[in-house]
Structure 1
Amino acid sequence: MSDAFLSQTITIGTGDGEIEAYAALVQDAAPRGGVVVIHHMPGYDEPSKEITRRFAAMGYNAVMPNLYWRDAPGAAPDDAAATGRANGGVPDERLTIDVQGGADYLRSLPNSNGKVGTIGYCSGGRQSVLAAITVDVDAAVDCYGAYVTGTVPEGWPLKINALNERVTEARCPILGLFGKDDKYPTQEQVAEFEKLLTDAGKEFEFHSYEDAGHAFFAVDRPSFRPEAAKDGWARISAFYGKHLGA
């Protein structure tokens, strides 16, 4: 197997047209799984592209849809994210269409084994769980997604509702990675999420890290926690190895 991969901006089809996306594709014919990376609220930025490339280095084809493409086509990431926030964020229905488009693209590749997972950070964590409910995927990773459970406070910048009981409709296993010092989500909200999945008999695994808050994976922020991030990446690798193929 080759360790070479090609990363570039592409266009993918969705249920209502085409959008920009960033792909990192392994350059050999061996069958492999794919990962749809759901970027965080700051948008389709360089740190998120680096995460996409990391999955290719791990041996998966990966694609990251630009969720703000319809709001601000061609705009710089910061400007597009500002426009997206001003519009209330990415509507859930549109997110479902875009992630399904990413999954369909990955499955269309000649070296796909047919299995696709999702991963999201911050707002993308909630959206990864939403994808587990609404999209044909085989595994979903939620990295500290706010308002999977709980109540969205008045004045919250995104026009969303917490998923709450909808999580029991998840169609694939879920890996959740959280910081014990996080306020979005709180440990109480994580516990509620866990109970809903347990009571519904869903397959999942959750891990919460001491001395870690929100965005502990973000190497470019003061919130970065190396030990939690290292362990989190190991768990992501094992989870995808189990559900998407080694």
Structure 2
Amino acid sequence: MSETSPAATGSLTATTITIAGDGDDRIEAYLACPEGEATRGGVVVIHHMPGYDRGSKEIARRFAELGYDAICPNLYSREAPGASPDDAAAVARANGGVPDERLIGDVAGAAAYLRALPTSNGKVGVIGYCSGGRQSVLAACNVDVDAAVDCYGAFVTGTPGADFPLKITNLVDQLPNLRSPLLGLFGKEDKYPSPEQVAELTQILADEGKDFEPHSYEGAGHAFFAVDRPSYNVAAANDGWEKIADFYGRHLGS
């Protein structure tokens, strides 16, 4: 009689841990893993601008249910340790957001943690939503990951306005350094990124010979994965999750 896999049963464990982030800083993170000792890939979940919240942790648990070790680092650990997600996000936003260099170091630390787990098959993916979508692409241009997913990341291309609250630039100059296959999931009703900015990203990566799979959804705007927001789009989110599962299945080996 064959043993049922943890991914099939949905059995998992989840806990808050501390990992080494950029500059070897100790930062909080949320770790979710399937039960069992089978080797599998890992996923770094980059939370959205509202922060290290319940929704971000639910996403990590969903990846564990799909059969991956998943970790979500708290990118605001330094600004507001122990604060509520809303308060920490407000502090981070007032400071202009997470510096790109620090984000790269934190994701590298999270990826290293996953690869050091006894269940790791050595492969790690990264995914981000909203500001985390841009940061997922940034990480994939600077960190050795095996697959990356950009969920409607603003200003991968395009130029932030003078009144934009985050101190960021686009990633056009970094895109030639993309190190992994990239899946992009976008809404055709979104303004940041707009369909024109998605088209620009697609053209740049095609010119660079990069492995990019873009998908844009009719009737979907920004944050269409967010189940607790009016922007939630059931059809787009369900199809997006299917595409993520297929993409990671091909590149992470779980």
TM bucket normalised to smaller: over 0.9
Matched with 2:134 is 126
Question: Percent of aligned positions with the same letter in both sequences?
Answer: 66
CA contact (8 A) 1:5 1:24 kept: yes
Decide which of 64, 89, 110 is 2:118's aligned counterpart: 110
| 1:36 maps onto 2:16 in alignment | no
Deviation at 1:136, TM superposition (A): 1.2
Measured in 2, the distance between the counterparts of 1:154 and 1:191 equals 23
Matched with 2:92 is 84
Deviation at 1:14, TM superposition (A): 2.1
SS at match of 2:13: strand
Deviation string 1:172-218 (CA, Å, 9 cap, x unpaired) is: 00000000000000000000000010000001100000000000001
Measured in 1, the distance between the counterparts of 2:178 and 2:26 equals 27
1:90-105 alignment runs, 5 A limit: 90-105=98-113
| 1:194 maps onto 2:202 in alignment | yes
| 1:148 maps onto 2:148 in alignment | no
Matched with 1:8 is 15
Measured in 2, the distance between the counterparts of 1:31 and 1:37 equals 19
Measured in 2, the distance between the counterparts of 1:110 and 1:80 equals 33
Measured in 1, the distance between the counterparts of 2:186 and 2:21 equals 31
| Stretches of structure 1 lacking an aligned partner (at least 5 in a row) | none
Matched with 2:165 is 157
The alignment's TM-score, normalised by the length of structure 2, stands at 0.95
CA contact (8 A) 2:22 2:103 kept: no
Query: What is the one-letter code of the residue matched to 1:219?
Result: V
Deviation at 1:164, TM superposition (A): 1.3
Deviation string 1:13-48 (CA, Å, 9 cap, x unpaired) is: 124221000010122111100000000000000011
Question: After TM superposition, where is structure 1 displaced by more than 3 Å over at least 4 residues in a row?
Answer: none
1:65-80 alignment runs, 5 A limit: 65-80=73-88
Q: Which moved more, 1:206-215 or 1:156-165?
A: 156-165
Deviation at 1:165, TM superposition (A): 3.1
Deviation at 1:155, TM superposition (A): 1.3
Q: Which moved more, 1:2-11 or 1:94-103?
A: 2-11
